[in-house]
A = this chain, B = another copy of it.
Amino acid sequence: MSNEGSNQQLFLARIPHGVSGPQDFEVREAPIPVLKANELLIETHYVGIDAALRLITRDSDEFLFRVRPGDVVRGSVAGRIIESNNPAWRVGEYVNGSLGVQRYAISDGSGLERCDINQAPLGAWLGGFGVSGLTAYFAVFDACRPQPGQTVLINGAAGAVGSMAGQFAKLAGARVIGIAGGPEKCAWLINQLEYDVAIDYRRPDWFAHLKEAAPDRIDIIFDNVGGEIMDQSLKLIGMNGIVLMCGSTSQYAAEEMKGPANYIWLGTMRARLQGFVVFDYAHRYAEARKRMASWIKSGRIKIPQHVEAGDVGDFGAVFEKLYRGVNRGKMLLKLPAAGA
């Protein structure tokens, strides 16, 4: 392994403008931390590439977290415990947590989660079997509860959350329409994830297609993107409909955020735009994962992910790819420790 004996940490180099990429980050070498009592050392295998990082690197204190230039970049990672001074955690266990983008991290165990790789492979714990998948699970089965025959729209259908939400909505018996960028992604939604309809938002007539696909309006919209797609979708929300906000990725990098002008359709249709935060369901993660693991086993769901192999210094380039929309499912950076 290269750089053995030293840590590589990713720092925010500057406040990003527009799409964030390599120019906004820098790697610094540091000694591998020496453990104190009760601490453990984790070697990072996978880094989850989360769109929301772009939101918290904005020049604004308005959001719950903030990463400032000079801070280690926040990031969810999955890895293996390679040293432990804590009797509750054994060397060799796989874990994930918000440990920052770095090769080695120390932790006292708080906020750390064990990964049972018999349930799902380690990388999946950062995506479709992790927070993204759990978001989709509780959004579908708890917050929205689509009924058989209802029409569900997934905005950002090929993304980390959307690709799971569509599959869960299908399991619930709904008719599922997905919106994604480009004909390949659309074909993938239909062929691999069994969406009923896929709409390519890069086509100028995408909204006409959507309208045609939803002649009786839309009961539930899972919105992961905000912006123009969400705004237009609101025109088709149905009576007592739910627009669930799972993310607003299109707005995170916008110099000036824009709200949905068609929100007045919520009024006419007695519909609601509903905030949703998966962390409220933390006490039910185990229950959800048990069901998801059985669905994976029986082939009823897939855990789509886009893995890029590289090192800590490649984070910026991979993050930029996320914003360019190359991924189907969760985007992951796989570090050398994860093996070939």
Contacts and interface: CB of A to CB of B under 8 A. Distances in A.
B62 A235 contact: yes
A62 to B, nearest CB: 7
A226 interface: yes
Main secondary structure of the interface of A (DSSP, over half): mixed
Given A62-B235, A235-B62, A245-B266, A261 B271 contact: no
Contacts of A257: 261-262, 264
Contacts of A231: 259
A37 to B, nearest CB: 36
12 contacts: A62-B235, A245-B267, A247-B267, A257-B262, A258-B261, A260-B260, A266-B273, A266-B274, A267-B276, A270-B277, A271-B275, A273-B273
A294 interface: no
B273 A268 contact: no
Interface residues of A, number: 33
A214 interface: no
A64 B268 contact: yes
Interface of A: 62-64, 226, 231, 235, 245, 247-248, 251, 256-277, 280
A270 B276 contact: yes
Contact of A264 (B248, B262, B269, B274): B248
Given A62-B235, A259-B258, A264 B251 contact: yes
Q: Top 10 nearest A-B pairs by Cβ distance?
A: A259-B259, A266-B275, A259-B260, A273-B273, A267-B275, A257-B261, A259-B261, A245-B267, A272-B274, A270-B275
Contacts of A271: 275
Contacts of A235: 62
Contact of A248 (B260, B267, B273): B267
A278 to B, nearest CB: 11
A57 B263 CA distance: 19
Contact of A277 (B256, B268, B272): B268
A53 to B, nearest CB: 15
A57 to B, nearest CB: 15
A245 B248 CA distance: 21
Contacts of A265: 275
A256 B264 CA distance: 13
Contacts of A263: 226, 245, 248, 259-260, 263, 273
Nearest to A55: B264
Nearest to A270: B275
Contacts of A62: 235
Contacts of A276: 267, 270
Contacts of A245: 263-264, 266-267
Nearest to A256: B261
